[in-house]
Amino acid sequence: MCGIVGYIGNQEAAPILIKGLKSLEYRGYDSAGVSIYNDKINSVKTKGRLSNLEKKLDTVSLNGCIGIGHTRWATHGEPSDVNSHPHMNSTSTISLVHNGIIENYMVLKEELEANGHNFLSETDTEVAVQLVDYYYKQSNNLLDAVYKAIERIEGSYAFGVLCNDEPDKLIAARKDSPLIIGIGEGENFIASDIPAILEHTRDIYLLEDKEVAVVTTEDITIMDMNKNIINKEVFNVTWDICAAQKEGYDHYMLKEIYEQPKVIKDTLTPRLPLDVNNITLDNITLTKEVLRNINKIYIVACGTASYTGLVGKFLIEKIARIPVVADVASEFRYKEPILDEKTLMIVVSQSGETADTLAALRLAKKAGAHVISIVNVVGSTISREADDVLYTLAGPEIAVASTKAYSAQLCAMYLLSIKIGMELEKISQEEFIELRKELYLLPEKVEKVLEQSDAIKKLANKYINSKNVFYIGRGLDFAVSMEGALKLKEIAYLHAEPYAAGELKHGPIALIEDNSLLVGLTAYEQLYEKTVSNIKEVKARGANVLAIALEGNTEIDKIANDVIYVPRTHWMFTSILENIPQQLFAYYISVGLGHDVDKPRNLAKSVTVE
């Protein structure tokens, strides 16, 4: 949801801002802009991708060593030049970029209009800059004006502010939207996320909610809402910049798909030492005593991460016999969920910043529940606010559609489920040793699936013109089918629906016609025969069938038009193997249709608004 970059130092700001914004484009890409100070603030902004902004900047040179930039995912007002950020006050002396939503913007706007302020755009953000302007006129002090403005603003924000009359500083402020400060030498940075500044520094401050920073060339002062100075620890980024680059692959998504064997290994093996017959879950205490005090588990997340929750529910209930509710965070928080000290909540998030997931976490904590987060981005808000964090070690995921982060989340969920099962004595030492052996074999089994990439590409081209695609499965396969259908919708823009295999005949089967495609997932062997019967029902009504099956289950060949086989593993872990063909299938269809795989239309990777 919108990317922010700010620079103050001795170098030309424009190239630094543009490069930073490029690495934040995953947060939104419908318009972009920069403001740079050089005697006065000059701004260039435009509708469309960053490349449009770059073209515009080729014709208008913007010099200066202090500036702010923004890449947008529209919430208020369509993507257009005028709605793009930065937004300015009427005299163009204050410029502001914003990520988040100002909920009371209508009230503030009316008030400001009554005071003679004119608005050019339809955005909520313009209200913020006009409000800063309003207070600046009273105090002639930018910091005071920003403080006064944020006291009035309801909603979420990460702001970067630049002022003509105080050109020695940038002001940054955050509430419920991520913002970091990069610490350089003789230069400093602000950004929505680490990749934007990693080329310049590995040392950063993570701003917390309701913190304000004054950033100059030499200094960074961070304060609370009462202007008390906060001494923050420096956070050192350990991962490498090339982890956030394409490295020869056509798309980030393909690179990330191919990284999965490593990601799975990295996420699993440190938690599965070979010299101890137990799982070490970082600092998470999930002992028998803790678990016996729990009477219910919620797994809450959004999008792809919510499908990890469905797998988790299935595994934990089957193994540990504790009731688990898996829910999407946007619904969960409005259901008056029953939360207390006997509740364990597991939240799952790649970014660690998703607004609804964060709100669910806060709701649970307020009610006294214990919250474990499964998060990919180290130091993100969710990872910091949860009682415990189990990091997925997937490295930066840049493609908007999640692939490697999902596989890593599944691994984390396998570990948690096994750990809970062991503590509750539902999994014996012998069984654990067997499971550990299988987990160690997963990366090479994933490699084997990836080796079928060319064959899957051919299938993608064969079925590229399918009209309606149905993904079906039972048990664990049903959870995996959700992710398969989502990938196809997200990047190929094909109508795809997941269904519990047995449910199809209760309605959706009416949609089946000659050009329909059914992707039948059959790796959950306990229900294999039943799923195969459901596949036959659809085949008989004219659909093409692409099945995904475990090696050896060759009778499916007689029913399906095509079959992708994946290696056999323990039933608990089939989800990860079965999903890889779904990723490749969606990827190649998207490429074949000429879509922008890494930046699909209308989407953003990090959704920091409700």
- Cα 553 to Cα 529: distance, rounded to the nearest angstrom: 10
Q: Among all residues, whose Cβ is closest to ligand G6P? A: 303
Minimum distance of ligand G6P from residue 600's CB (angstroms): 8
In degrees and rounded to multiples of 5, residue 211 shows phi and psi of: -115, 150
Give the type of residue at 573. Answer: F
Question: How many C-beta atoms lie closer than 10 Å to residue 268's C-beta?
Answer: 21
Instruction: At 21, list the tokens.
Output: 């914004």
Minimum distance of ligand G6P from residue 390's CB (angstroms): 14
Minimum distance of ligand G6P from residue 61's CB (angstroms): 35
Considering the complex, state which of residue 31 and residue 402 has its C-beta at the smaller distance from ligand G6P. Answer: 402
Going by C-alpha positions, the residue among 546, 556, 555, 548 that lies closest to residue 580 is 548
Kindly report the three-state secondary structure assignment for every residue of 287-310: CHHHHHCCCEEEEEECHHHHHHHH
- Cα 353 to Cα 351: distance, rounded to the nearest angstrom: 5
Minimum distance of ligand G6P from residue 398's CB (angstroms): 12
Minimum distance of ligand G6P from residue 415's CB (angstroms): 18
Residue 126 · residue 133 · CB < 8 Å: no
Considering the complex, state which of residue 400 and residue 439 has its C-beta at the smaller distance from ligand G6P. Answer: 400
Residue 315 · residue 417 · CB < 8 Å: yes
Which residue pairs, CB below 8 angstroms and at least 24 apart, start in 11-15? 11/65, 11/187, 12/63, 12/64, 12/65, 13/62, 13/64, 13/65, 13/66, 13/67, 14/57, 14/62, 14/63, 14/64, 14/67
> CA angle, 25 as apex, 21 and 30 as ends, to 5°?
110
Name the β-bridge partners of 299: 326, 346
Going by C-alpha positions, the residue among 349, 375, 576, 603 that lies closest to residue 484 is 576
Considering the complex, state which of residue 150 and residue 597 has its C-beta at the smaller distance from ligand G6P. Answer: 597
Question: How many C-beta atoms lie closer than 10 Å to residue 359's C-beta?
Answer: 18
In degrees and rounded to multiples of 5, residue 430 shows phi and psi of: -65, -45
SS3 content of the chain, % helix, strand, coil (to 5): 40, 20, 35
**467 catalytic per annotation:** no
Residue 268 · residue 296 · CB < 8 Å: no
Minimum distance of ligand G6P from residue 547's CB (angstroms): 26
Considering the complex, state which of residue 350 and residue 544 has its C-beta at the smaller distance from ligand G6P. Answer: 350
Considering the complex, state which of residue 397 and residue 578 has its C-beta at the smaller distance from ligand G6P. Answer: 397
Minimum distance of ligand G6P from residue 252's CB (angstroms): 13
Considering the complex, state which of residue 402 and residue 569 has its C-beta at the smaller distance from ligand G6P. Answer: 402
- Cα 230 to Cα 592: distance, rounded to the nearest angstrom: 52
Considering the complex, state which of residue 357 and residue 417 has its C-beta at the smaller distance from ligand G6P. Answer: 357
Considering the complex, state which of residue 68 and residue 305 has its C-beta at the smaller distance from ligand G6P. Answer: 305
In degrees and rounded to multiples of 5, residue 534 shows phi and psi of: -65, -35
Binding footprint of ligand G6P on the chain (CB under 6 A): 302-305, 349-351, 354, 357, 400-402, 603, 605-607
- Cα 20 to Cα 16: distance, rounded to the nearest angstrom: 6
Considering the complex, state which of residue 9 and residue 303 has its C-beta at the smaller distance from ligand G6P. Answer: 303
Q: Looking up tokens 């170098």, which residue turns up?
A: 11
Going by C-alpha positions, the residue among 571, 568, 531 that lies closest to residue 551 is 568
Indicate the helix (H) or strand (E) that contains 221.
Answer: strand 220-223
Residue 15 · residue 50 · CB < 8 Å: no
Out of 45, 404, 445, 605, pick the active-site residue.
605
Minimum distance of ligand G6P from residue 254's CB (angstroms): 16
Considering the complex, state which of residue 123 and residue 351 has its C-beta at the smaller distance from ligand G6P. Answer: 351
Minimum distance of ligand G6P from residue 251's CB (angstroms): 15
Out of 2, 163, 302, 411, pick the active-site residue.
2
> In whole angstroms, what separates CA 363 from the centre of its chain?
20
Minimum distance of ligand G6P from residue 490's CB (angstroms): 7
**262 catalytic per annotation:** no
Q: What are the residue numbers of the active site?
A: 2, 605
